[in-house]
A and B are shown apart, each in its own frame.
Chain A
């Protein structure tokens, strides 16, 4: 498992594709928002937390279709499936690799982008906390979606259609934590609920992903 994780990380770093691309996409979304709604700082600071969450979510989505596609094309996915490692483990490692290469840089960069959107000062900490608690769920759900669409033509568009509705609960609670934090309100039950969704997703999603992969590889 560790070897597989190392391999995926190395591929991501050396190929250089997904690693910086998602981050750049996130930056572009953040830059475009003031053009769309106007540069008024008070308006921007009100929507900043939500926009940052939405941008991070879309950036996560962007790199999903490469998750299994490359391994499927060159056949290494079939090889992995015959390895002694259970497919559930492979699914979990894939999700972890996606989180480390795509989501973690986004989490680190989010406060910097928060400055661009004049996020209120108390919001920075909560933004990072909520992203840290929420993005693992995004990666795990995304891995499931990527497994569903592996080997399909026009898989990318279908992937978004399938995965985005599944992101709704995570987005609601995550953005709620960030928004309440930015407005200086009590966080309340939103953060435990977000963490609960993440834990549940992390525990159960690898099984669904593995079931899908098993089926897709047989067909």
Chain B
């Protein structure tokens, strides 16, 4: 039993169908629970007053926007090295979800920035690199949509994802160099283990992050299954046309 067994579309679909209801239920509980907890049952902060509540939608969506791209990168690598079709389709399925997460992160950030920094938008390194990430997502999806032959499309988009990742990383450091930012540093530095937020805010945030993560996984699985089915449908149609 190895993980590569699920490179078989049939097995992947079977497993996905089996765990999807659980994932959907879990993500609904976690997302709604985390957001309701954060929205209704946390105190206002001294400095930020009630805008501190925006953190429960802003941070999880930003987290999944970046992780979505990372997942696409890993899937692209698997496709290029081992040529499992499921992997390529999963990368394709993740892109629209990642875009939505990026848009949510940008939007909630702008809404928060308006009262706190006095402006909707500044050319801060973090904000700028998120906008660039958004552009990368758009280019990736446009390339998928433009190429008809799915295997060629999978190859070319995978290479674009690889090259894009390198340049996204370069851009991240380039914009750092270009403009010092307003955006606060991370509140949950994983590397040092410390954190600057109190438990009242931190716990609902963790729930919301877990919820967005499970939601992302559920959406990607459902979309991948859809793509597998569409591919199979196309094959059946072609056979019918020939018969």
Residues in chain A within 8 A of chain B (CB atoms): 144, 148-149, 152-155, 158, 161-162, 164-166, 168-169, 172-173, 176, 189-190, 193, 197, 208, 211-212, 215-216, 218-219
Contact = CB atoms under 8 A, between A and B. Distances in A.
Closest 10 CB pairs of A and B: A219-B152, A169-B170, A169-B174, A165-B135, A162-B139, A172-B174, A215-B155, A168-B171, A161-B139, A166-B167
B155 A165 contact: no
Contact of B132 (A155, A158, A165): A165
Contacts of B164: 165-166
A8 to B, nearest CB: 23
27 contacts: A148-B143, A148-B159, A148-B160, A149-B146, A152-B146, A161-B135, A162-B139, A162-B143, A165-B136, A165-B167, A165-B171, A166-B164, A168-B132, A168-B167, A168-B171, A168-B174, A168-B175, A169-B170, A169-B171, A176-B178, A189-B177, A193-B177, A208-B163, A215-B155, A218-B152, A219-B152, A219-B155
Q: What is the predominant secondary structure among interface residues of chain B facing chain A?
A: helix
Given A161-B139, A165-B135, A165-B136, A152 B163 contact: no
Contacts of B162: 208
Interface in B160-194: 160, 162-164, 167-168, 170-171, 174-175, 177-178
B156 A197 contact: no
A112 to B, nearest CB: 28
B147 interface: yes
Interface residues of B, number: 27
Contacts of A152: 146-147
Contacts of B171: 165, 168-169, 172
Contacts of A169: 167, 170-171, 174
Given A165-B135, A169-B170, A215-B156, A144 B177 contact: no
Given A173-B174, A197-B170, 17 more contacts: A148-B159, A153-B146, A154-B146, A158-B143, A165-B171, A168-B171, A169-B170, A169-B174, A173-B177, A176-B177, A176-B178, A193-B177, A208-B162, A212-B159, A216-B156, A219-B149, A219-B152
B138 interface: yes
B230 interface: no
Contacts of A208: 159, 162-163
A180 B125 CA distance: 19
B234 interface: no
A144 B143 CA distance: 13
B151 interface: yes
A100 to B, nearest CB: 24
Interface of B: 132, 135-136, 138-139, 142-143, 146-147, 149, 151-152, 155-156, 159-160, 162-164, 167-168, 170-171, 174-175, 177-178
Nearest to B166: A204
B31 to A, nearest CB: 30
B132 A144 contact: no
Given A165-B135, A166-B167, A215-B152, A172 B175 contact: yes
B131 to A, nearest CB: 10
A134 to B, nearest CB: 12
B177 A172 contact: yes
A169 B159 CA distance: 19
Given A152-B147, A172-B175, A193-B177, A161 B159 contact: no
Contacts of A165: 132, 135-136, 139, 164, 167-168, 171
Could you say which of A148, A149, A197 has the most chain B C-beta atoms within 10 Å of its C-beta?
A148
Contacts of A173: 174, 177
Contacts of B142: 158, 161-162
Contact of B159 (A176, A193, A211): A211
Contact of A212 (B135, B139, B156, B167): B156
Contacts of A154: 146
A153 B178 CA distance: 37
